[in-house]
Structure 1
Amino acid sequence: MRQGFRGELVSASLVPIGVNRVTGDAQQVWRTLRGIARNHDNFCYLLGNLGSPWRVEQDGRQALLAAGDFTLVDSRRPYHFDFPEGPSTVSLELPLEWVARWLAEPETHVARAFRTSEPGWGCALAAFARPWEPKIACAPPLPVNLLTDQLGSLLSLACGETTVATNHMPGLAERVALQLRQRLAEPGLTATDVATSLGVSVHTLHRAMAANGQTFANQLMAERMAQAKRMLQSTAMRRLTTAEVGRRVGLLDPSHFVRLCRQHLGNTPAALRKGP
């Protein structure tokens, strides 16, 4: 037996997703048929590399993951990881029923690399998932439903599963956009809230938005920021504090509102109010 082996797993739950960080010494990991038979708790795992390159193999496919890259594996079938310099990994444990909301055939997407070096939805997925760590699960920066829905939407887009049968509901994406504009002042507005009001399933709503190249969280934030900019630059709204403007677009934390304005509008609320 190898002496002095070092490894660490830190875990927390962001229901329904398990958020894990894994570090350790050089190692190889096999998921075998015998191990699968002994363990009836199966998941898909979205794995991100934070360190030196390592290799994943499943179902005859393999990928070499550079720092920042992500991949998907399914614990119902054998896989192999080769960590020549040890893992430094984000590991998101995805319940199979949750994955089924976003991917019709997850098995067709295992052991592929979602690369930060290649523009597209795979890069967006990797950038969004990389900061996830157990402390986020303990103190989520946004409502949990928004975070997990955004992750699922980006996973679906990155895998190219954006086709959705919405011909019987023409204009669904436009109806969602209208709802977002009308309800953006509601703190914690979720996709479930909007889907319920439109009489569709959350799954259908997300797939319809993905077919238009959108995610619920992205579009909601875009609507909130557009409305905030209009209010900040309106002379009729000068009497409102910037914190009140944030509140009226559903963002109750003034400091968070300032950060979002910098990120999405390129300046602070006070500077936007002053104009050029």
Structure 2
Amino acid sequence: MLTTASVPDRDKVTYWNDAVSRTLVPMTVVPRGDGSFDGRITTDRLGYLQVATVEADAKSVSRTPELIAGSSEALVAVSVQVSGTAVFAQDGRRAEVGEGDLVVYDTTRPYSFDYPRRFAAHVFQLPRHALGVSDGEIRRVTGNAIGTRDGFGAMLSPFLTSLASSSAAGYPPAVANRLAGHVVDLFATLITERAQPGGADAAARSHLMPRVLDHINRNLGDPDLSPESIARKHRISVRYLHRLFEGEGITVSRFIRRRRLEECGRELARRGGTAPTVSAVAQRWGFVNPAHFSRAFRAAYGVSPREWHGLRNAQDGPGPSAATPPLRVAPRGVR
């Protein structure tokens, strides 16, 4: 850990510039304000992945072409804004970085951070060659803030925070290298998916929708299953959940109801054994109100649950009208 705590006020800025440049990459730091500057940086290494946590007063940071020319190693960094805010710029783009946001930047090209007040951030640096993604993909991602409330960022952020908060000293070298490889794979996935057409929405649909649909299918019998509970389980907003389902052409609540009706229709159509009561089937699949279930079933199938059960069991073989319920909306995956 390097800190300005015991450094005389007149030397703090010089000390901090040197500490940051030696720990991360050479850069110029200019404090904002005329008061005494305070900063602390802790570093750890996990295989070839460097993990640092920076806490400091308001400042501006810039990496200029002159500083880049004196650096021998090409690195890519991912910064997680723990507290405070920043304005980040690279490759002609500027991004407002809020608490919890991620930014990706390439140390071989100029960039800047402007922190208007005291802040904290986790910084992960790794060799550029380890990522296995193209320069074009990296360029399309830099200069943007990646939110962590939704999508792939929501899954990645807790893991990075936990990794930065734990010491790598307890890992044997082989384990540390393997863990570093997993982190790099996650970063490469983040960059690749953010760089493709559709960006965050495409990434979220690829990773989140199968999980959301599986969660719904496994919890159809829970009467408390709702957009709110689903969003909470997957650490996303209800609004974002609805946006994911726009691609399915159906709302979340309507999808849940259709899947429940589908399972009820299947169970009521079974032959042999003890015939289940309509109310028991309805409750088993999450319908609390039998009257509401009967109305919803009739609206979907054109007959009441009892009539559906009677029709299916009266036939020697399933007829077209009884065998094919009109409720097939991606029950096991995304279309």
TM-score, normalized by length of structure 2?
0.44
Which whole-Å CA distance do the structure 2 matches of 1:132 and 1:30 have between them?
Answer: 26
Q: 5 Å matches for 1:241-260?
A: none
User: Of the candidates 50, 64, 71, which is equivalent to residue 82 of structure 2?
Assistant: 50
Partner of 1:115: 147
Alignment of structure 1 residues 1-276 onto 2, 5 Å:
4-100=36-132, 105-117=137-149, 119-133=150-164, 135-140=166-171, 143-161=175-193
* CA deviation after TM superposition for structure 1 residue 213, in Å: 5.5
Q: CA deviation at 1:5?
A: 1.3
Amino acid at match of 2:161: R
Q: Matches of 1:3 and 1:52 in 2, distance apart? A: 19
- Give the 3 Å change call, closer, same or farther, for CA 64–134 of structure 1 in structure 2: same
SS in 1 for 2:51: strand
Structure 1: distance between partners of 2:72 and 2:119: 25
What CA distance in whole angstroms lies between the structure 2 residues aligned with 1:213 and 1:148? 24
| 2:93 and 2:143 in contact (8 A); partners too | yes
SS in 2 for 1:124: helix
CA contact (8 A) 2:104 2:142 kept: yes
How far the C-alpha of 1:62 sits from its partner, in A, is: 1.8
CA-CA distance at 1:134 after TM superposition: 6.6
Please state how far the C-alpha of 1:150 moved relative to its aligned partner: 3.1
- Taking the aligned partners of 1:155 and 1:41, their CA distance within structure 2 comes to 19
Q: How many residues align?
A: 166
Whether the 8 Å CA contact 2:137–2:192 is kept in 1: the answer is no
The answer to whether the 8 A contact 1:57-1:79 is kept is yes
Q: Does structure 1 conserve the Cα–Cα contact (< 8 Å) formed by 2:95 and 2:145?
A: yes
Kept in 1: contact 2:131–2:185 (CA 8 A)? no
Partners of 1:8 and 1:41 in 2: CA distance: 24
Deviations along 1:179-236, whole A, 9 cap, x unmatched?
xxxxxxxxxxxxxxxxxxxxxxxxxxxxxxx9x967xxxxxxxxxxxxxxxxxxxxxx
Q: Take 2:62 and 2:113, find their aligned partners in 1: how far apart are those partners?
A: 7
User: What do the CA deviations read for 1:222-276 (whole angstroms, capped 9, x no partner)?
Assistant: xxxxxxxxxxxxxxxxxxxxxxxxxxxxxxxxxxxxxxxxxxxxxxxxxxxxxxx
Give distance in 2, aligned partners of 1:125 and 1:103.
22
Q: What is the aligned-residue RMSD (CA, Å)?
A: 3.0
Question: CA, structure 1 residues 113+132, in 2 after alignment: closer, same or farther (shift >3 Å)?
Answer: same
Return the offset for 1:133: 2.2
Structure 2 portions without partners, runs of 5+: 1-9, 11-33, 196-202, 208-335
What displacement does 1:12 show? 1.3
Greater radius of gyration (CA): 2
User: Contact conserved, 2:86 with 2:98, CA < 8 A, in 1?
Assistant: yes
Contact 2:88 2:95 in 1 (8 A): yes
User: Secondary structure, in 3 states, of the residue corresponding to 2:167?
Assistant: helix
List per-residue Cα deviations over 1:152-193 (Å, max 9, x = no partner): 333233234499xxxxxxxxxxxxxxxxxxxxxxxxxxxxxx
Distance 1:134 1:7, change over 3 A: same
Task: Provide closer, same or farther for how the CA distance between residues 89 and 140 of structure 1 changes in structure 2, counting only shifts above 3 A.
Answer: farther
2: CA distance, partners of 1:99 / 1:33: 23
- The two structures have a TM-score, normalised by structure 1, of 0.53
